[in-house]
Chain A
Amino acid sequence: MIGSSLVPLGHWLQNRSFALTIADSRWAYPFVQATHFSGISLWIGTNVAVDLSLLGIGNQKHTPADLSDSLFFWNWLGFATAVLGGFLLFSVSAETFVINPAFLVKLSTLIPAALITHIIIQCKIHQWAREPSLPQIAKYAGSIELLLWFCVATAAVLIPYGPLVY
């Protein structure tokens, strides 16, 4: 398994001083979790808003391209916060995470796929907006991105159940 070869790396990361500080402190871990969740709220929330707009759901007050532009800053701020919080959470118990199948699937497959889809959408959305009506590919891209982020969230929820697979 790929995961088991990363266990020494996980063990090393877990014992870095910043990870040990977070693990020992009573309040730091909830604070880091709150950071990760706030980042996710901004990131996923803005992504879903643009995807739903691409699919034509919602009041369509703004075009998908306008929405994507106005939410751009919050979108990537949320991503940065989520990644920072996520990395800190991971480093606190890295050893257990690298052998967790749900976490491995989430990080190695689902997140890269969703991220690539998201970047493609953000790059192409203006091109799609210039056409008289939103092309079909835009709708497909929106629904694929929605599905992928849904899968990421499901994988994250299933992380506590990962060890039960063995």
Chain B
Amino acid sequence: MFRARKPGVLQRSVRARNHQVEVIEIANPESFYIVLTCLFSRTWLITCVYECVNQVDAVMNMLFQIADRLQDNPIIISLTSTGWTAAALAILHYYSMFVLVGSMVIVDLRVLGVLGRSYDTGDLARRIFPWVWFSLGVNLISGFIMFAGDATAYLPTWSFQLKVAVVLLAIVFGLLVQWRIPRWEASPVPRAEAKVVAIVSLLLWIGAILMGVEVPAISGIG
């Protein structure tokens, strides 16, 4: 006996005892919601959070061991203790940050419609985002080397952890802007989502700059 295919339902055909082919449902939207409710039950969530907190400790220990080895690496030591290489790293880090944030701000302000209305957003984004990602690469590499020179001191500092978190979030929003721009362009009406994402991206990069300067000011490292 055949049953017609139902949309949104997982079906499987089985051979019944009377050698007839039958189609049975093995999952439908109702069962899916039941499973979801079970998964997000309170007890399961609490166990999850508890495990996460325990794991964070273990992860931090592992990171500290890595930081120790990083700090003692001869290449890192020579790069961060030699006067001119340390200065060059700082210059690279700052200038790549200028290009990075400057380019992101251009795109964000265009998405917000504040500046550059005569430029096509998609076109502008296509021209500018390579600068964003290239300078981000230089910034991350120079930043990592500078961090590695004093890794065990930076790692437990809350201002540094906050800076890394803000930079990661800013990167995520930068990617969001890049991926969503075609859809925002195609839409006939100005989208609120576009403005929100652009403003958040802008604020996050400004926050990243401020956090970057605050780390030495607050912690005294670097």
Contact = CB atoms under 8 A, between A and B. Distances in A.
B83 to A, nearest CB: 6
B86 interface: yes
A70 B222 CA distance: 40
B87 A161 contact: yes
A20 to B, nearest CB: 16
Contact of B90 (A45, A160, A165): A160
Interface string B179-212: 0000000000000000000000000001001100
Contacts, number: 36
A137 interface: no
B86 A29 contact: no
Contact of B94 (A29, A30, A34, A153): A153
Given A29-B217, A160-B222, A154 B210 contact: no
Contact of A160 (B83, B102, B206, B216): B216
A30 B214 contact: yes
Contacts of B213: 30, 33, 37
A160 B94 CA distance: 13
Nearest to A38: B206
B91 A164 contact: no
B90 A157 contact: yes
Interface string A44-59: 0100000000000000
A164 to B, nearest CB: 6
Given A153-B94, A154-B91, A161-B90, 6 more contacts: A30-B210, A30-B214, A37-B210, A157-B91, A158-B90, A158-B91
Contacts of A164: 83, 86
B210 A33 contact: yes
Interface in A135-166: 153-154, 157-158, 160-161, 164-165
Given A153-B94, A157-B91, A34 B210 contact: yes
B87 A158 contact: yes
Interface in A1-50: 29-30, 33-34, 37, 45
Nearest to B86: A161
Contacts of A165: 83
23 contacts: A29-B217, A30-B214, A30-B217, A33-B213, A33-B217, A34-B206, A34-B210, A37-B209, A45-B102, A153-B94, A153-B98, A154-B91, A157-B90, A157-B91, A157-B94, A157-B95, A158-B87, A158-B90, A158-B91, A161-B83, A161-B86, A161-B90, A164-B86
A157 B95 CA distance: 9
